[in-house]
Structure 1
Amino acid sequence: MYKSELARIIRERRAIKKGYNDKEVTEEKVLEILDDAIWAPNHGMRQPWRFIFVGADQKAAFAKKVASTYPEERQQNREDYLNEPSAILVVIMEEPELPKQWEENYGATSSMIQNFWLLAWEKNLGVVWKTNPHIYDPKVKELLDVGENEKIIGFLHLGYFDEQPEVKERIPVKEKFTLFKA
């Protein structure tokens, strides 16, 4: 059915948003996956990313600190939410002043995240890329020591899982494809 093993992984990959089991996501496993994921295309070899790993031992304290940046009535909800995954990988990107370089960095970092996601999927590690409001909050940037010329691209929620989400069909590419006519 699939043209290649890579095509199969691309088509079978899902966002794992909940239903994580108790298997620990280790720093070593994340580093192993990142070691290949960073081979994403990146203009000028800027390699504009860096990472903060939040493992099982740090997750409760991390969730509490990030949740504390929300209004009091939302803090418990956000703390519970951030404690759902087995681990979190915060992805941070260098933000150049030139719009062209910013877009190139964002494209490269997004490509690296896709690589990470596919490589993790191959190892039965679930991933979902989260861009909740806290990634834009200056208090969260300060909490994570994110520099003035850096941007939090997202929190990758990580965890092993037992049940795979259902397939969500895509619009056929022919409906999104045209030929240039001079």
Structure 2
Amino acid sequence: MKLAELIKERRSIRKCNSRPVEQELVVELLSSAARLQPSIDTGSWRVVYAGTPEANKRLADYMLAQMSQSKLGKLIPGKLLDVFKKRFTDIPAHVIVMSSVGSDRLTNDRNYSAVCGIMQSFQLLGWERGLGMLWDTESMIQHEGFFQGIGLHEDERFVGILHLGYFDKTPRSRKRTPAEQKWTVYQGQVN
């Protein structure tokens, strides 16, 4: 498949089947994705892999802890929280991605953007192999309890979680915003 077709055809997968995702495949795809990002320093990123039922349960607990303790979360019936938890624990694997915090903003931005490039390449390489993913950065998981639970270091920044799994049906595509609608020609002043 040509790269343009691959990019166009890839979808975020929210519903996975129960087929396990082998850790070796994840490592292979991450290694390949990192090699496609020439500016990345090997020390500027790391991942945590959760691919067992026990690890997925703990991860779901960390993800939902803040929600269940919030004012809104306390109004959510326990059965609905159980549905959320089951949804996360049924996903065969999760890759938690972190970038290093640099000594200045430019280094931080470069590390973060390079790691985002790795994540995007990882998704495309996975799609070629029939592996679907969803890149998750939801605000409900952006809290100290979650960061402690995943082992985020002081000198690291949370980039996101890739939920991984094989799927039975490819979702339909969504409408895309044409690039022309995002286009501005600079003429000395931007409004």
Residue type of the partner of 1:91? V
Change (3 A) 1:152 1:42: farther
Change (3 A) 1:111 1:71: same
Offset of 1:155 from its aligned partner? 1.0
Residue type of the partner of 2:32? D
CA root-mean-square deviation: 2.3
For residues 92 and 57 of structure 2, what CA distance do their matches in structure 1 show?
11
Offset of 1:60 from its aligned partner? 2.1
2:146 aligned with 1:150, yes or no? Answer: no
Residue type of the partner of 1:8? E
Q: Deviations over 1:88-108 (max 9, x none)?
A: 110011112411111111110
Among 2, 16, 22, which residue is 1:5 paired with? 2
For residues 83 and 105 of structure 2, what CA distance do their matches in structure 1 show?
36
Q: Deviations over 1:60-108 (max 9, x none)?
A: 2332344334435465354234214211110011112411111111110
Q: Does the Cα contact within 8 Å between 2:62 and 2:145 map onto a contact in 1?
A: no
Aligned counterpart, 2:146: 140
Aligned counterpart, 1:52: 48
For residues 61 and 147 of structure 1, what CA distance do their matches in structure 2 show?
18
Identity of aligned residues (%): 28
Change (3 A) 1:180 1:82: same
Residue type of the partner of 1:54? A
Aligned pairs for 1:105-116 (under 5 A) are 105-116=111-122
Offset of 1:9 from its aligned partner? 0.5
* Structure 1 unmatched ranges of 5 or more: none
Number of residue pairs the alignment of both structures matches: 178
Aligned counterpart, 1:17: 14
For residues 146 and 177 of structure 1, what CA distance do their matches in structure 2 show?
37
Bigger share in helix: 2
Q: Deviations over 1:112-136 (max 9, x none)?
A: 1100000000011001100123542
What TM-score results when the alignment is normalised by the length of structure 1? Answer: 0.85
Residue type of the partner of 2:19? K
Q: Does the Cα contact within 8 Å between 1:124 and 1:160 map onto a contact in 2?
A: yes
Offset of 1:171 from its aligned partner? 2.5
